[in-house]
A and B are shown apart, each in its own frame.
Chain A
Amino acid sequence: MYNFDVVKPARIADAVKELSDSSESQPLGGGQTLIPTLKQRLASPEKLVSLAGIDEMKGVCKGEDGSVCIGGATTHATVAAEAGDYPALAATAAHIGDPAVRNRGTIGGSLANNDPSACYPAAALASGAIIKTNAREIAADDYFQGMFTTALDEGEIITEVRFPVPEAANYQKFVQPASRFALVGVFVAKYGGGVRVAITGASNDGVFRWAEAEAALSTNFSASALDGLSLSGDDMISDLHGTGAYRAHLCAVMTKRAVTAAG
């Protein structure tokens, strides 16, 4: 680790100010990604702006439109325990990492990082969530821009994430045996206006929506509607744990399972 300063502001406005003071400062959520990166000397911020002391960024509540609103600094454990209005989301949070990770890691950190194998990006994209920052609101469809890439500007903080609650939803995570991130994770959400299917872990471009599956399921929300549908493995991640073709196959299997489980 290189040396750095840490500040722990109590309000969003102060955090934004701390971040804008210097281009070498960076927000710190739960540190579950950032701290290991620092330990390996792969990043050298001068200042970390911890978001853990900002109460207005923590907790789960219900919005006027019925959506589930989660503060950007809310831990996975809190979402697992308190997002009961959106059971598939709570269940997703409950299966991220291990208890230590869930007690520290935050939804804002996860979405800002946009790891191609992370779980929340699939939940947010399939739910058509709104990512609120200190400056604006970003629709999930515009937010995810490829692995580790998002619409966030430098110094912009995710303050809240709003999830419209679907009629039915489920997340199926097929774990990579070593990291236990998603080798392939499929989040299916059925809304009045149609079904959304978002897939993480598989693509070289990060989380994506599977349009053909969405169309088929919007007409007939059952696993059999997916018969014969498949994705190409050509552009998918190929590594020690699975080829692109294997991941493409898992996308179809996990989508069916998510639909069946969503009921």
Chain B
Amino acid sequence: MPKDGGIGASTKRREDVRFLTGVGNYTDDINIHGQAHVFFLRSDVAHGTLNSVDTSAAEAMDGVVRIFTGADFEAVGGMPCGWQVTDRHGEVMQEPRHPILAHQKVRHVGEPIAAVVADTLEQARDAAEAIVVDIAELPAVIDMKDAVKDGAPKVHDDLTSNLCYDWGFVEENKDAVNKAFEEAAHVTTLELVNNRLVANPMEPRVAVGEYARGTDEHTLYTTSQNPHVIRLLMGAFVLGIPEHKLRVVAPDVGGGFGTKIFHYQEEAFCTFAAKACNRPVKWTSSRTEAFMSDAHGRDHVTKIELALDADNNFTALRTDTYANMGAYLSTFAPSVPTWLHGTLMAGNYKTPLIYVNVKAVFTNTVPVDAYRGAGRPEATFQLERVVDKAARELGVDPIALRRQNFITEFPYATPVAVEYDTGDYHATMDKLESMGDFAGFAARRAESEKNGKLRGLGVNCYIEACGIAPSNLVGQLGARAGLYESATVRVNATGGLVVMTGSHSHGQGHETSFAQVVSEMIGIDANMVEIVHGDTSKVPMGMGTYGSRSIAVGGSAMVRATEKIIAKAKKIASHLLEASEADIELKDGAFSVAGTDKSVAWGDVTLAAYVPHNYPLEDIEPGLEETAFYDPANFTYPSGAYACEVEVDPDTGKVSIERFCAADDFGNIINPMIVTGQVHGGLAQGIGQALLENCAYDADGQLLSASYMDYAMPRADDLPMFQVDHEDGTPCTHNPLGVKGCGEAGAIGSPPAVVNAVVDALQSAGKDVTHVDMPLSPDRVWAAMQ
């Protein structure tokens, strides 16, 4: 049993005390003396020419400070895109200007047209109603395949078409892949939709801009997963504020799931307006605004083909995907269907030849970007669905077909440019088989049938990539950012210490798990370690939290910085103990001389560092503070095997999940309880995608699911008790903790298990159903059965 507070202990989350007792400090809790409120007047049409925005009557209304329109922002930059994709012909993607407020045209329902700053929010709303907007409506393009047809209305008049890019990966493999298909003994083909989702973090987005005239300093408080990235993008590319005059703070953040990575117009607006109005300016998104202004997720339409030889070995894989970008490029949108998706198409299998084509398309919808899993769920879903379909077509056991094609030797270089460092897919599948009690399935199915229900079992594997890196590689792939992480460890004179990490916690529990690592390394109580994040004025330049990167990249930076601290502390200890540095050992918070009973406590060493009376001043500086930047050598590759058992009511089409088992390999684990929580949350969102969630537009671009009345979030009673097992993973080979990351796995791995199970249930009743598109709502399942 690891000691409480150390690595491997299920320490309770220290931050939960403040979250659960109502004393957290969320952005909406920040109210600055004299602040004004902004209300954004948003477009209610999907596509139109903005003839005029008449604010004259509104400006005269009570409490109005100032009203801004698109014309006020012509001189500043548009919202930047952080990733440039080069297409299969060597051309760079089409990159439209993304204004802070719509100018000349509106391109999606929810796009801000005007911003009213007033003393109170209600006054701002009153004035917004008095603004007269003249929009000449244009035909909207919503369906991606329509959008790329000749003569389709163009979302952006100055681009050549609605095609952002046409990406081929790996283009050089294309002919060989096609040849393998010609020679295949069997080809399985599947067309499917990966449904558009809205992230729906519990806390909506908020921004508060503040400007100090005396020092010309700007501060933005915002609900961000990566405050430094916002500072860089907004400062350098949008508003032209140097970083040393711009502070970005992301305090307690109530969930992000990716949608709080991106730089949004409202952040830039509040920062800009605080100076323009010389008053702090605050915006809090309503839930309705969130539905039409937070970047959406997924939205792929794919045709996937799998080629097999006569012995059922996978010989080639070919995919053709349309990926919705929405009306503008959100910050990391271009990377999601390409480098976070194409590179994962090998999955857990040694398929030698793979070709992925992705057409990214502009439509008159809210921009789409990364959402929990980002690209990997889309890859996993297609692959694991087509493998399942192949097994059914060939009449072979779906698990046996997977096992037969597993990668078994590591490191393994896939044909889609990545190298898996480690994994043991048979071991994970073994765990799943024993957890899932597959032997008992036939009896459970018989029992369900007695009750008039159809029972199905669905299994799938997944592989994912976390901690995308190294920076020089991602730069070649088009990233306009580095993907390292930073940490400063500041030890105080009395021995307590503060870790300032570039990672950002918005529910993940870093304040607990990061402290466990440092306390274990030094051998002090975890309560002596404070974790600080989310403030560019405190933390060194960091890249933030997304892509399940925090422990693998941010944790590694913290380990490196702590190692530097320990190395220096040993020098101080060797001086105090009058022993050779090589003989100093650190254990349980005390430095001792090997083979003797001479020792000095951690607190005495730290005190000496700051009160350097008896101190080797000629060799080392006083103080004990170190910074490390960690740039990983490779991604990490968590993997797993999931099983879902469903009951389908044949009269209504309603699916209920009876069992769900998740066997994951996350490498080493710092806090098993937190990891279990991350898996549970991911499963809830993955099952939500599979059964419930659907962001739908009508043909005119009106958002049909703009509230919880129509957008179905998973609730506790939609879910079974999960069985999860993430013990005994294969440690990552290239980071100091041997960790891989666990934040997204549940959402990546679960949708195919659910759909495979429902197809299994329907086929057990003799229905000729090979696929149902998500969400598997009762009406869709019922329709599929007819």
Q: Which residues of A approach B to under 8 Å, CB–CB?
A: 1, 3, 40-41, 174, 177-179, 183, 239-243, 246, 249-250, 253
Contact = CB atoms under 8 A, between A and B. Distances in A.
Interface in B728-786: 777-779, 782-783
A183 B782 CA distance: 14
Nearest to A40: B288
A214 B371 CA distance: 50
A249 to B, nearest CB: 7
B621 interface: no
B777 A177 contact: yes
B285 to A, nearest CB: 14
Interface string B301-328: 0000000000000000000000000000
Contacts of B654: 174
B652 A253 contact: yes
Interface string B349-378: 000000000000000000000000000000
A13 B765 CA distance: 62
A1 B122 contact: yes
Given A41-B129, A246-B779, A246-B782, 12 more contacts: A177-B692, A178-B705, A183-B778, A239-B710, A240-B694, A241-B710, A241-B777, A243-B779, A246-B778, A249-B782, A253-B651, A253-B652
Contacts of B711: 178
Contact of A241 (B122, B129, B713, B779): B779
B783 to A, nearest CB: 7
Contacts of B779: 241-243, 246
A182 to B, nearest CB: 13
A243 to B, nearest CB: 7
Contact of B783 (A174, A178, A246, A253): A246
A174 B782 CA distance: 14
Contact of A179 (B288, B691, B694, B709): B709
Contact of A174 (B125, B652, B692, B696): B652
7 closest residue pairs by CB, A with B: A178-B712, A242-B779, A177-B712, A179-B709, A246-B779, A253-B651, A178-B710
Contact of B705 (A41, A174, A240, A242): A240
B696 A240 contact: yes
22 contacts: A40-B288, A174-B654, A174-B778, A177-B692, A177-B712, A177-B777, A178-B705, A178-B709, A178-B710, A183-B778, A239-B704, A239-B710, A240-B696, A240-B705, A240-B710, A241-B710, A241-B779, A246-B779, A246-B782, A249-B782, A253-B651, A253-B652
B709 A242 contact: no
Contacts of A183: 778
Nearest to B714: A177
Which secondary structure characterizes the binding site on chain A? loop
A159 to B, nearest CB: 30
Contacts of A40: 288
Contacts of B129: 41
A242 B709 CA distance: 14
B367 to A, nearest CB: 22
Contacts of A1: 122
Most-contacted residue by chain B among A41, A177, A239, A246 (CB, 10 A):
A177
Given A41-B125, A253-B651, A242 B778 contact: yes
Interface residues on B, range: 20 to 34
Contacts of B652: 174, 250, 253
B708 interface: yes
Contacts of B694: 240
Contacts of A41: 125, 129
Contact of A178 (B288, B651, B708, B778): B708
A240 B710 CA distance: 8
A178 B654 CA distance: 14
Interface-centre pick from B288, B651, B691, B705 (highest chain A CB count, 10 A): B651
Interface in B117-157: 122, 125, 129
Interface in B667-705: 691-692, 694, 696, 704-705
Interface in B217-232: none
B61 to A, nearest CB: 14
Contacts of B122: 1, 3
Contact of B708 (A3, A174, A179, A242): A179
B782 A179 contact: no
Contacts of A241: 710, 777, 779
A175 to B, nearest CB: 9
Contacts of A174: 652, 654, 778
Contacts of A240: 694, 696, 704-705, 710
A3 B123 CA distance: 11
A80 B400 CA distance: 52
A177 B713 CA distance: 8
A249 B650 CA distance: 12
Nearest to B692: A177
